[in-house]
Amino acid sequence: MKAIERAVPLPASPDRVWRALSVPAEIGRWLGGLGPYGERTGGGLDTWILSTPALEYVRLGAARIGPGRSLSVEWSEFGVEAPSLIRVAVETGPAGALLRVREEFPHRRSVPRAAREVFWDDCVERLRFHLSEGDRSGAPPGIRSIALGVRIPVGTWLPLHRGNLFRWLPVSGPGYPPTSFYVVDDAGPRRFPVRRVEDYFDERISLFVDVGDGVTRAVVRTAHEEGGVTLSVHHSQWPLVSGGESRMTRLRDVFEITWRASLDRAMRAAGPGEERHGR
């Protein structure tokens, strides 16, 4: 599996960012609770248990600290996965600090790369929020929305036309409008009822998807440009349930992975010559 790398500019001093990455009390405000596991590695460094909003249980071992503002840790999903190696460094950036992150994976890895991509995107957003809030505790209010897009340079193909919608969107029903939305996780396919559909010609469709504790809203849009069309999705209104933020965050991540795969299918359905663009 190819390594994941991030170079993230942050509007704070390198010392401030390093403190957020290295002081356990600060780590708990944006990444998750950190507690000793009661073991030590061969080099005498502690092994920790990390509980995050997206993962219940991570085994974290400090492999190397320094020189400068840098560290390496071994990261094991659920405490049983073969560990990946994460290297973090804080440098001086043009507007404050530059955070560099690289995660290298072992040969065999059951956690999909897409899940780790989602996890690091969420980490960066929570860290930005923490730095902007100073010493006040907390995380971004609510659960982060999904915002994705692709550019399809085939101007005559309409992804939101009723005849094309079922070719790439993971929905089903006896006809139009769809009545079910599907995601796939470790437990296999899961069906979520679509409570309402609102469409506007072939330019926009809103799906109101029932996730059990509330109804979320996914808005899919097309924007026609010279030589192609941009297809985007914004999935928001994730419910916050008492004691269930961790579970709902994990479900939201599964939906994001599903949306990424769906946009890839839309590009393939459109034909050759597709071009991606970022979040």
Task: Encode the chain (279 residues) as per-residue pLDDT tens digits.
Answer: 678 898 989 989 999 999 998 887 788 778 777 766 544 444 555 677 777 655 456 777 777 777 788 989 888 876 667 888 999 999 998 888 999 999 998 877 666 677 777 778 778 878 888 888 754 444 445 688 888 888 888 767 889 999 899 999 999 999 999 999 999 877 778 999 999 998 988 888 999 999 988 889 899 988 877 777 889 898 988 887 655 677 888 889 899 999 999 999 998 888 764 443 333
Helix (H) and strand (E) counts in the chain:
5, 15
Q: Measured between alpha carbons, how far is residue 64 from residues 71, 114, 223 in Å?
A: 6, 27, 48
Quote the CA–CA distance of 251 and 249 in Å, as a whole number. Answer: 5
17: left (phi over 0), alpha (psi -120 to 50) or beta: alpha
Quote the CA–CA distance of 42 and 65 in Å, as a whole number. Answer: 15
Residues 6 or more apart whose Cβ sits within 8 Å of residue 92: 14, 98
How confident is the model at residue 236, as a pLDDT?
Answer: 86
Length of the chain: 279
How confident is the model at residue 140, as a pLDDT?
Answer: 47
Query: Can you tell me whether residue 110 is helix, strand or coil?
Result: coil
